[in-house]
Structure 1
Amino acid sequence: MRDLPFEKVAKMFDPLIKSRLKVLGLTGERFEMFYQAGLIGLWKAWSEFDETKGSFPSLANLRISGGIMDELRKESNREKRIMPMVPEIYENILSKAVYDTIPLLEKEAIAYYLEKLTKLEQRWVVERICNQKREVDIAAEYGVSVGAVKSWRKRVVKKLRTLR
């Protein structure tokens, strides 16, 4: 298989990738992302294939399925980490200026930044920035240590700095 260019191999295994996606119900707007994951799995199989260790179709099948499943796991983990944005949070954020020096942001911009954070980090932003609670009060309210709340802050600052 290594003697064939990858584009030709991709055309040959296109029906397999599409059938895997159909079986898993990954159609519509999600199709393209998972199709790419299947192609990446196929490319990995093509680039590491060794004829002495078995047949290419079985390796390709394994890698395609694995690539799609890995992407499904990543998507599931992203959904677990992201706190659902409720309108009250937006209104709370937009109604308060932080220290009167930071201008209010548009709802879309706020959602963009908050969805990059975990639930705990979002909790820190909402409670500390929006509700202007002290870290001691946040810790008491959620039954965690002040150090834990401070670690949420550190992670938020670190992540937001990389998004600039």
Structure 2
Amino acid sequence: MPNMLQDQTCHFSEVLKQYESMIYHLIHKLNIQDREGEFYQQGLIALWESYQKYYDRDSFSKITYITIRSRLIDLIRKKSRLIERETVSEFFQEEAEHDASIENFDPMFWELVRGALTEKQWIYVQKRIVEGKGIKEIATEEHVTIDAVKGWGKEVKRKLRPVLKPYLT
């Protein structure tokens, strides 16, 4: 058994030499900045899995290209979702921990924020950002679904991005 694994690994190193440029090509083609090598590593994993499943097929090259490309795109999407979750509310929650009277922090700022939002969105800002309540708790208090509160939050984020840009730079 170890001999078979060793043979497979030795053969894979030859495949890697042949297809490594494909990984780099896809990283470049997708305009990925891979400073930590995370995308390259994902490409290697995809190549290995493709090798294990499809190496004996005539279409191995095409399947491998699609597999690596798909994995890189999935990783891009995963990273994008993580970035989207980092909201302005998280920034303000950190500030709220330091100063309980955040509403008095800058009245003109809060007027600017209030003016950009609907009533429900303002409730979201007050309860989630200022008071630090959870989404479920807000939904219970406002007699709406959790998805409705999440929707308010998404709209708050979308509307406040341009408004808060001068404050975050």
Shorter-chain TM-score: what band? 0.5 to 0.7
Find the counterpart in structure 1 of residue 13 from structure 2. Answer: 7
Measured at CA, do residues 15 and 90 of structure 1 come closer, stay the same or move farther in structure 2, by a change above 3 Å?
same
- In proportion to residue count, which structure has more helix? 2
Cα distance in 1 for partners of 2:134, 2:48 equals 51
- With normalisation by structure 1, the TM-score equals 0.53
Give the % identical residues: 24
Q: 1:35 aligns with which of 40, 44, 63?
A: 40
Greater Cα radius of gyration, structure 1 or 2? 2
In structure 2, distance between residues paired with 1:20 and 1:134: 41
Residue 43 of structure 2 aligns to which amino acid in structure 1?
Answer: G
Which blocks of at least 5 consecutive residues in structure 2 are unaligned?
1-7, 101-123, 151-169
After TM superposition, the runs of 4+ consecutive aligned structure 1 residues lying more than 4 A away are: 126-130, 132-137
- Residue 81 of structure 1 deviates from its aligned partner by 2.9
Q: Deviations over 1:124-160 (max 9, x none)?
A: 9x9479726698983488x553x739xx9xxxxxxxx
* Structure 1 residue runs without a partner (length 5+): 97-122, 153-164
Aligned-partner residue type, residue 40 of structure 2: Y
Over aligned residue pairs, what C-alpha RMSD do you find?
Answer: 4.1
Letter in 2 for 1:73: R
Report the CA distance shift for 1:35/1:144 in structure 2 as closer, same or farther (over 3 A).
farther
Q: Which residue of 1 aligns with 2:84?
A: 80
